[in-house]
């Protein structure tokens, strides 16, 4: 039986975002082994039939020594596991998992699922990231990108080998689990944001846009923020901000949840005013599948999910007035128009973002690389 190792930062994110891929690989007869930080979701991975090895990315994300040690631990782990192929996700596994796997003589498939806040600035951190991505991704056998902007930037900076990069239609969505549910008429419009509570996700901008709408006389709406505050990230929004906004009656906070589907089904519009370089946001794809209008930004990975005026609206990054204008269009739309927008969102999910498209592309390249190695 051929063995595939998947390297991720945490068991939580691996289970949340790649559970169905793991099940598909197992169904096709591969042995699958996860290498990630052990947490409460490790048990869930094991219950899928997936092997597991605990390797932490290191608590100090800015320490070069921690990164070197992480790379060395990955190398030793891979030499012990002897996989036929390695799949890498998230920044540090993409960089150090690739270097470790190639040093161990193993084929590698990478998934660039967004570049984060580091690539929205031009500073020393960005230059270091570009160097590390170029060093590692030029060694990868296949590099998948989730949006054309990231792929074009990597190509311009010579960060992958010609002919080894391919475009995926986002991260894919499970259309059976996230089934279409028509909008229901309510007394107020519910805007929902599903994300980690980071400044770069546009969380504060959304709250400020809500205040602009209140001052214009709109009172028939509610903003629901679903996600975790105080995450370990230099861009995280502190709890004091949550306390500040909790006094507003039109704002509702919901902590991190395992199942976001009920919150999407209760929503009338999904809003993600991100100025973070997303791959293709999974929360938006799930909202498309459920059949909700979308408001998001002209940012890589986000803009591809909206056809202006057809299934939602695009706004400018970091522009609170542009965001409030887009929300106002939703508030002024008829129920029939919102229903049509939601129906178009579902069609987009079915035609462009079905996770089976991603599975087919993965298994095609996995089979080719393993057979070549054999």
Residue 119: what pLDDT? 67
pLDDT tens digits for range 294-303: 999 999 889 9
The CATH architecture assigned to 189-352 reads 3-Layer(aba) Sandwich (3.40)
Q: Which residue has better confidence, 66 or 53? A: 53
> Which CATH number applies to 3-172+354-373: 3.40.1710.10, 3.90.25.10, 3.40.50.2000, 1.10.1520.10?
3.40.50.2000
CB 289 within 8 A of CB 314: no
Entry pTM = 0.89
Q: What span, in angstroms and rounded, lies between the C-alpha atoms of 137 and 141?
A: 8
CB 190 within 8 A of CB 267: yes
Q: What span, in angstroms and rounded, lies between the C-alpha atoms of 274 and 327?
A: 15
- Is the pLDDT at 192 greater than 80? The verdict is yes
Beta bridge mates, 249: none
**Least confident among 115-124, 146-155, 247-256, 333-342:** 115-124
What average pLDDT does the segment 100-117 reach? 90
- Is the pLDDT at 118 greater than 70? The verdict is no
Residue 205: what pLDDT? 96
Q: What span, in angstroms and rounded, lies between the C-alpha atoms of 101 and 75?
A: 7
User: Residue ranges per domain, the chain?
Assistant: 3-172+354-373, 189-352
CB 70 within 8 A of CB 45: no
- Give the model's confidence band at 97: pLDDT under 50 very low, under 70 low, under 90 confident, else very high: very high
pLDDT tens digits for range 229-279: 876 677 888 888 888 888 888 999 998 788 999 999 999 999 999 997 777
Residue 151: what pLDDT? 92
pLDDT tens digits for range 327-357: 999 999 999 999 999 999 999 999 999 999 9
Beta bridge mates, 35: 7, 53
Beta bridge mates, 193: 225
- Is the pLDDT at 9 greater than 70? The verdict is yes
Q: What span, in angstroms and rounded, lies between the C-alpha atoms of 234 and 117?
A: 10
- Give the model's confidence band at 163: pLDDT under 50 very low, under 70 low, under 90 confident, else very high: very high
Residue 127: what pLDDT? 87
Residue 238: what pLDDT? 86
- Give the model's confidence band at 57: pLDDT under 50 very low, under 70 low, under 90 confident, else very high: confident
Residue 51: what pLDDT? 97
CB 369 within 8 A of CB 141: yes
Residue 373: what pLDDT? 66
Q: What φ, ψ does residue 218 adopt, rounded to 5°? A: -80, 120
Residue 276: what pLDDT? 79
- Give the model's confidence band at 123: pLDDT under 50 very low, under 70 low, under 90 confident, else very high: confident
Identical fold between 3-172+354-373 and 189-352:
yes
- Please provide the average confidence, as pLDDT, over all residues in the chain: 92
Find where tokens 């901000």 sit: 241
- Give the model's confidence band at 116: pLDDT under 50 very low, under 70 low, under 90 confident, else very high: low
Q: Which tokens sit at 48?
A: 């899928």
């Amino acid at each position: 039986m051929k063995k595939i190792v998947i390297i991720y930062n945490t068991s939580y994110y691996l289970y949340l975002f790649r559970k169905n891929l793991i099940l598909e690989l197992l169904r096709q007869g591969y042995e699958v082994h996860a290498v990630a930080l052990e947490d409460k979701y490790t048990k869930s991975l094991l219950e899928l039939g997936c092997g597991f090895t605990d390797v932490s990315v290191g608590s100090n994300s800015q320490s070069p020594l921690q990164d070197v040690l992480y790379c060395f631990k990955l190398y030793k782990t891979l030499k012990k596991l002897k996989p036929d192929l390695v799949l890498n996700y998230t920044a540090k596994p993409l960089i150090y998992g690739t270097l470790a796997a190639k040093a161990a003589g193993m084929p590698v498939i990478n998934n660039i699922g967004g570049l984060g806040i580091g690539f929205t600035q031009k500073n020393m951190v960005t230059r270091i990231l570009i160097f590390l991505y170029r060093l590692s991704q030029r060694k990868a056998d296949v590099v998948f990108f989730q949006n054309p902007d990231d792929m074009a930037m990597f190509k311009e900076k010579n960060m992958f080998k010609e002919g080894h990069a391919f475009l995926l239609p986002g991260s894919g969505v499970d259309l059976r689990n996230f089934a279409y549910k028509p909008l229901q008429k309510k007394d107020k419009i519910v805007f929902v944001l599903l994300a980690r509570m980071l400044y770069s996700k546009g969380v504060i901008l959304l709250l400020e846009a809500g205040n602009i709408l209140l001052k214009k006389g709109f009172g028939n709406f509610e903003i629901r923020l679903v996600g975790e505050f105080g995450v370990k990230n230099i861009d995280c929004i502190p709890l004091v901000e949550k306390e500040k906004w909790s006094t507003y009656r039109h704002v509702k906070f919901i902590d991190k949840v395992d199942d976001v589907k009920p919150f999407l089904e209760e929503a009338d519009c999904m809003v993600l005013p991100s100025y973070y370089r997303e791959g293709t946001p999974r929360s938006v794809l799930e909202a498309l599948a459920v059949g909700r209008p979308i408001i998001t930004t002209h940012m890589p990975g986000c803009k591809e999910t909206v056809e202006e005026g057809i299934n939602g609206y695009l706004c400018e990054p970091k522009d609170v007035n542009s965001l409030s204008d887009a929300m106002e269009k939703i508030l002024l739309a008829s129920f029939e128009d919102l229903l049509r927008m939601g129906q178009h969102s579902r069609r987009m999910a079915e035609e462009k973002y079905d996770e089976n498209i991603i599975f087919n592309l993965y298994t095609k390249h996995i089979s080719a690389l393993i057979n070549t190695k054999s």
